[in-house]
Amino acid sequence: MRFSLTKRAIKIFTPRSQRLYSLTHSSSFSTSDSGGVSDDPEPESWRKTRGLLRCPANFSPLSPITFLERSAKVYRDQTSVWFGSVKHTWFQTYQRCLRLASSLTHLGISPGDVVAVLAPNVPAMLELHFAVPMAGLILCTLNTRLDPSTLSVLLEHSESNILFVDHQFLELAHKALDRLAKSDRSRKAPTIVLISQSNDEEEEDDSSSSNSFDYDYETLVKSGDNEFEVIKPRSEWDPISINYTSGTTSRPKGVVYSHRGAYLNSLATVFLHQMSVSPVYLWTVPMFHCNGWCLIWGVAAQGGTNICLRKVSPKLIFKNIAMHNVTHMGGAPTVLNMIVNSTETEHHKPLPRRVDVMTGGSPPLPMVLAKMEELGFNVSHLYGLTETYGPGTHCVWKQEWDSLCLEERSKLKARQGVQHLGLDGLEVKDPVTMETVPEDGVTMGEVMFRGNTVMSGYFKDLEATRKAFEGGWFHSGDLGVKHQDGYIEIKDRLKDVIISGGENISSVEVERVLCGHEAVLEAAVVARPDDHWGQTPCGFVKVKDGFDEVKPEEVIEFCRDRLPHYMAPKTIVFGELPKTSTGKMASNDARPLPKFGEWDVNDPATADGFTVIFSKAGEDKKTGRSTTKTNSQRKHDGDKPTVKKWLCFTFA
């Protein structure tokens, strides 16, 4: 069975409202044998059963905006959000979102239009996740760490008609809009709405005084109608948001989420986070990233309290945990590193109650886990992509593992685990044959997903959508293995495998060893061309404070003592590591990185940046210009031929 996207499966909405593509507006779907989607209003199973009827009494489109309406009734007077001195109840939040949605419909836009937001984790960002879809519009949250050029491209690509901007980023927004105006003079500039929310601890920011805007956020909230009738989706497959990928290996793509997928992933994430009623969630995950892992909607479903942070620091984390009795938080490994390596940590006793922490990205290191546990944090590992609405798997912990030593527990926690409730399938497959790999913890394949919490597709890129869904599975681009207990473990990005003398080297494995050195805070490993071996590992290292005297040779020797010599880095470069907004290591030339003077660096100790290594390695793999030897060359040179032939797919 081969999956194909039929015209019924994806529709392109034309002019008038300039809508995104959506799945068909039929309120019922069934999957055909060919992998397409049928819009037959009567399920096949009903045809032999009499007396059944689908109607408003037993069917309504799934949408996470219903969580807010329920919480306004069930948790009416409970706190929904804290931000410094700003405090709202769930009923107040519902009223504010109603009025904001009402005001949006009077700004000259039509249902299906896109509303962009450029803001940190402030209450307005949370409210817009409800108000925008309540007005029948589509939310597009933008990465606040992007440069004006990239932002202008995303604003143009998303066809955003309104741009909500926090005062902190108003100057950045204007630079992006200036570029947009120069590239397309015929296009009307988006309407700018200024968000001026601040808390008691923030310094005054007068950047907005010198930059123009069309509307003020609070004015729109106050002027709206309390009795506004929410514009619910006609179909649960209608788009609710566009999220642009972080672009670790390519240019960002617009990932479209449906109301249905957002609803289901919100609940699935609540389950994997083990959130009971009325959790207190500290926002250390950027809300612009996968709609805050869908937890903006998920916390609302449980009537929880959102503790908003404009910026993340160990001091603010500990302060807010103590002040608000935080139960849950999340973040990339960089957040955990920040906590355990901060001088603030030295002044804090173990927390009075456990705080559950979900971390995604590279697995937490044993020393980081030990320190976090000592402080009172319970760390769990999850994994997902923008295309899976954020978290798609979770390393479900088993009680019998508690008695294991720290090293063994760390190995288990490093795994990405099993699928959450929103997915129908999670497999590790050969991307060429589509055969599932053995559950031996050794054989690598590509991690693939299928189910209700996989994206609708890439906005305005049907070819990329088809490619991503080839064979009826979503191709993650990540290499992994599957263990005997069914848990998966990521080994590398498909594009980032290093092939040295015919041997496949996982950059993740090498990074894990590098980070075990007492002087290493963070590490990234990429391929470096080599005349003899084809490629060799090159390690980029950020050292901890107080370890400035460590030498590259020491780090290389440390790795050689713990890895086969061919896997150990041949080059070590010290400096700041470039990252995406989500804490992942950037490995492409789209990031603003420092530069090497020359590509072939003989003395790595004098190197002051990473651009050429990162971008060159990525370009070699995208274009197939790798200097890696072919099997015939290896045989001629006496090298061992590669037996993992499917990996040639990487260089095709």
Structural contact between residues 278 and 90, judged by C-beta atoms closer than 8 angstroms: no
**What are the chain's domains?**
502-651 (3.30.300.30)
pLDDT score of 575:
86
Instruction: List the chain residues with pLDDT less than 70.
Output: 1-43, 200-210, 246-251, 345-347, 501-504, 532, 579-652
Residue 542: phi, psi to the nearest 5? -105, 120
Q: What is the pLDDT of residue 301?
A: 98
Angstrom distance (rounded) from CA 194 to CA 199: 16
C-alpha distances (whole Å) from 530 to each of 72, 512, 538, 595, 628 are: 62, 23, 11, 20, 8
Task: Give 399's DSSP letter.
Answer: G
The pLDDT value given to residue 209? 53
E-strand ranges in 494-555 read 498-500, 503-505, 520-530, 534-543
Burial class of 68 by CB neighbour count within 10 A (0 to 12, 13 to 18, 19+): buried
* Pairwise CA distance, residues 536 & 386, whole Å: 30
Distance CA 155, CA 190 (A): 9
Are residues 393 and 383 in contact, defined by beta-carbon separation less than 8 angstroms?
A: yes
CB atoms inside a 10 Å sphere around CB 14? 8
Please tell me the distance from the alpha carbon of residue 528 to that of residue 236, in angstroms, as a whole number: 47
Give the 3-state secondary structure of 314-340: HHHHHHHHHHHCCCEEEECHHHHHHHH
Joined together, the tokens standing for residue 195 give 């968000």
Beta-sheet pairing, 377-385 with 355-359: parallel
Structure tokens at 236: 């649960």
How many CB atoms neighbour CB 486 within 10 A? 11
In 3D space, the residue among 651, 595, 586 whose CA is nearest the CA of residue 624 turns out to be: 651
> Alpha-carbon distance 183 to 157, whole Å?
12
- Name, in order, each residue with C-beta under 8 angstroms of 400's C-beta and a sequence gap of 6 or more: none
Q: Is the pTM value of this prediction over 0.85?
A: no
Q: Do residues 511 and 649 touch, judged by C-beta distance below 8 A? A: no
Percentage helix, strand, coil, to 5, in the chain? 35, 20, 45
- Determine how β-strand 191-195 pairs with β-strand 215-216: parallel
